[in-house]
Amino acid sequence: MAEADVNRPFRVLSLDGGGMRGIYTAAFLDRVCEQQAKRAGVDRLDLGLGFDLIVGTSTGAIVGCAAAVGCPMSKVVALYRNHGPKIFPHRIKGTISALYRAGRGRSFVRRGDAALRAALEHVLESTTLAQVYEKRGISMSIPTVLLSDHRSWVFKKTPVSGARDEDYSLVDICMATSAAPIYRSLAAVDVPGQNAGVKQVFADGGLWANNPVMVALTDALTIADHEQPIEIYSLGTCPRPEGEHITGDGIHRSLLGWRLGADVVPLAISAQEFAYDNMARLIAIELGKSGREVTTIRFPRKAVPASMMTYLALDDTRAEAMDRLTAQAHTDADLTMSARDDPRDPSGSRIKALLESLPALDPSRTLVSCEATTTTDEGGEQHV
């Protein structure tokens, strides 16, 4: 990687996990890039090359890895639409559904495992972390959990990370970070350079870093030049309008009351999102007092409508749910572009500078086929 330009911010993209809600993330980024490309007078922009570091957990890692290799976000939206129902072949809708899943769950997660790997190979091909770093100049950090030790593990390749993870394929890394207990299989990943059959088993990074902004902040501080300002752009997956009013015997909730554990995951995601966002913001403020300029910008920037609640399950692959998530992403992206044009909005000014720094997509600089995919949204409008 070239020597840091201390006059240019060190830019980080941080992407949350959230299962099928990753279509929101991809559609949001696709819409923003599409609008900026029109302003710049080019066909498409290379989103990944706008960032020095990309961090993503679970479904966020899938989107982030696609950006890192130069894949258009429209192709990622199509991945969710075309492969989502195969990745999550059974939706846990209630207690009866959870009980049914308890009896047949192994067959569902096996099928989902194979479907996800096939979808990832289509988009990411055989690219490794080292190739992203060496050929695209992008550092990456992907949180997961190593089952043999029950400890956090971050797949990473940065200027200071060493060679431990560089030969892992992005496909294997995405399988590892998205291996959500209950919803998906654990991930058994080949160890690069070891004899055939030597594997490590991983679980979803969302167990400890579903919102990976603190991972992003930590790695940015170790990579960026001390004089270089840091900007972290953190994107959620259309967070649920959460909260419960519990009275009487409702407090005595047991296994079935938690839908055999399926309701614990969204609760953990919401709690992490709120906690880590505020931790990162407060740490950034304190760093600023000591002369280290760090800015965190979180999207979406407004509350999610309560009407979206029906469509935010992690395993909801209904066409209606994907349409609503895509439509909400477009609405939020349009608001972001409005902020971009408001000179009174400090975050908007940074967004403008970021977007104007994105180069046109050049197929010779990508690591995979960058052929765009056409998708159709709720209103029947096609996007490339």
Q: Provide the annotated active-site residues.
A: 58, 204
Nearest to 89, CA basis, from 121, 113, 62, 123: 113
> Given the DSSP bridges, would you call strands 10-15 and 230-235 parallel, antiparallel or unpaired?
parallel
> d(Cα 146, Cα 280) in Å, to the nearest integer?
25
Nearest to 135, CA basis, from 105, 170, 96: 170
> d(Cα 251, Cα 247) in Å, to the nearest integer?
7
Q: Biggest alpha carbon distance in the chain? A: 63
Q: Which residue has the tokens 């909005």?
A: 345
Dihedral class, residue 359 (left if φ above 0, else alpha if ψ from -120 to 50, else beta): beta
> d(Cα 190, Cα 112) in Å, to the nearest integer?
19
Give a three-class secondary structure readout of 122-169.
Answer: HHHCCCEHHHHHHHHCCEEEEEEEECCCCEEEEEEECCCCCCCCCCCE
355 secondary structure, DSSP code: H
> Given the DSSP bridges, would you call strands 199-204 and 139-146 parallel, antiparallel or unpaired?
antiparallel
Give how far Cα 32 sits from Cα of 104, 152, 221, Å: 41, 33, 27
